[in-house]
A and B are shown apart, each in its own frame.
Chain A
């Protein structure tokens, strides 16, 4: 456990190196919310979405946490390219501790980055009850931990930074646009083919955003499937991310 704490501290310090870059990202997220979403509020047909700003606010929180959790992959890819993994493997900790520590670090980063945006959402949409807040935080942690697992699996699989960035981009666009982050599920029907609609339904980004909406806006309604999907996503990607990470580090 102590080894994991050291790793968390190390990765958190590294995260602080990105503070200016993060500030740039947050400003982009806020511009999306306070400029784009405000304009769309006037443009969107109220029979589809009554208030787009309120609808989009949970979506941007989820988008931001997903992007921040992915930053751990950037570092892992750098470590793989520079053979930094040899040093990490020489440290007095088990492979399992190493992998789970990196995974948790990615999750922690996502949670920290997302917190000002989540607070903004609460300010404009209203605060949840303590139980709802705990559920939201737990669900978001599942999302960011799963995301960092996914990011680590991709980052460790290639030594090429360009390939990592391209793969990340494809996943970003697929998961962002085939989700309910920007639009409700009913708007997707009839536009996207059935497999992509299914992806949008099961997408962890959709589940995260819809969970917050369910508690703060009352629509879509809360279902246990939202939490269940997030749990499945998180477990699959944390386990596979850790397995790929350990295997590639040992064979490098």
Chain B
């Protein structure tokens, strides 16, 4: 377990080097909640839409920050660090578990202060509900990191990963309830949103913060969905990482 934490610590330190990226994401967050959120909430017929929207923006940020671990893997491959990592007295399982956890924790470390801003806007109605939601968001972040690692190591091409991530981001965010409730989606989109982990995470966060809305997914469904998402992608990332990390072939 100590070895897993060593990997986690390393990933946290690496993350702090991306100062400009972190600044950019923070600017994006501010722009979303001060411009688009405020203005669009005056245009829509959804009651209390601003609170609904800012909660979704935090989950989007958590998702995109946790996905960033895949880029670290490409950086390591480009600079020959993969071979160094393989030579360490750490098993592949410990390595990938550490990376999934590290990817999740670092996204929380980053999103934490911004989450505080959002909670200051929305408030917390029931602390117990919030703790349950908060713990589930950890599962979500670990699952996203696992997904990012599985994709990066599975594809082994920086360009393809970049494109896939763009397309995935375009679809997974928009076909979820991060930005709008399911009730306003066409049937096909709504059906996809119902099984989307971003829907589970954002609706659970809203429930935890005490946003009362008829549009939210049931908390139990969301927790089970996030647990399944976390288990699937943690298992997949371990399996793919173990199988694909060695042997080069990085583009």
User: Interface residues, chain A, CB within 8 Å of chain B?
Assistant: 20-21, 23-25, 27-28, 31-32, 35-36, 38-40, 42-45, 48-49, 162-163, 165-166, 169-170, 173-174, 177-178, 182-183, 187-188, 190-192
In the assembled complex, which residues on chain B have CB atoms less than 8 Å from the CB atom of A182?
36, 39-40
Q: Is the interface of B mostly helix, strand, loop or mixed?
A: helix
State whether the Cβ of B175 lies closer than 8 Å to any Cβ in chain A: yes
**Chain B min CB distance to A132 (Å):** 28
CA distance A35 to B159 in the complex (A): 25
Q: Which of A35, A170, A177, A190 contacts B174 (CB 8 A)?
A: A35
Q: Do A27 and B170 form a contact, CB below 8 Å, given A177-B36, A192-B35? A: yes
**Chain A min CB distance to B23 (Å):** 6
The answer to whether A35 and B43 touch across the interface, beta carbons within 8 angstroms, is no
With A188-B39, A190-B42 known, 16 other A-B pairs at CB within 8 A are: A20-B159, A21-B163, A24-B164, A24-B166, A27-B166, A31-B170, A35-B189, A36-B174, A38-B189, A39-B189, A40-B40, A44-B43, A44-B45, A166-B20, A166-B27, A192-B39
In the assembled complex, which residues on chain B have CB atoms less than 8 Å from the CB atom of A165?
20, 24
In the assembled complex, which residues on chain A have CB atoms less than 8 Å from the CB atom of B171?
31, 35
CA distance A174 to B32 in the complex (A): 11
Residue of B nearest to A168 (CB): B24
CA distance A28 to B169 in the complex (A): 8
Q: Which of A23, A45, A174, A192 contacts B43 (CB 8 A)?
A: A45
In the assembled complex, which residues on chain B have CB atoms less than 8 Å from the CB atom of A170?
27
User: Interface residues, chain B, CB within 8 Å of chain A?
Assistant: 19-21, 23-24, 27-28, 31, 35-36, 38-40, 42-46, 159-160, 162-164, 166-167, 169-171, 174-175, 179-180, 184-186, 189
The answer to whether B167 and A43 touch across the interface, beta carbons within 8 angstroms, is no
In the complex, 28 of the A-B residue pairs with CB atoms within 8 angstroms, ordered by the A residue number, are A21-B159, A27-B167, A28-B167, A28-B170, A31-B174, A35-B171, A35-B175, A38-B186, A38-B189, A39-B186, A40-B180, A42-B184, A43-B184, A44-B43, A44-B45, A45-B45, A48-B43, A162-B19, A163-B20, A165-B24, A169-B27, A173-B35, A174-B31, A178-B35, A183-B39, A191-B38, A191-B42, A192-B39
In the assembled complex, which residues on chain B have CB atoms less than 8 Å from the CB atom of A49?
43
The answer to whether A187 and B174 touch across the interface, beta carbons within 8 angstroms, is no
Q: Do A39 and B185 form a contact, CB below 8 Å, given A28-B170, A31-B171, A188-B39? A: yes
Residue of A nearest to B190 (CB): A39
The answer to whether B189 and A21 touch across the interface, beta carbons within 8 angstroms, is no
Most B C-beta atoms less than 10 A away, residue of A38, A43, A166, A170: A43
The answer to whether B35 and A28 touch across the interface, beta carbons within 8 angstroms, is no
**Chain A min CB distance to B214 (Å):** 15
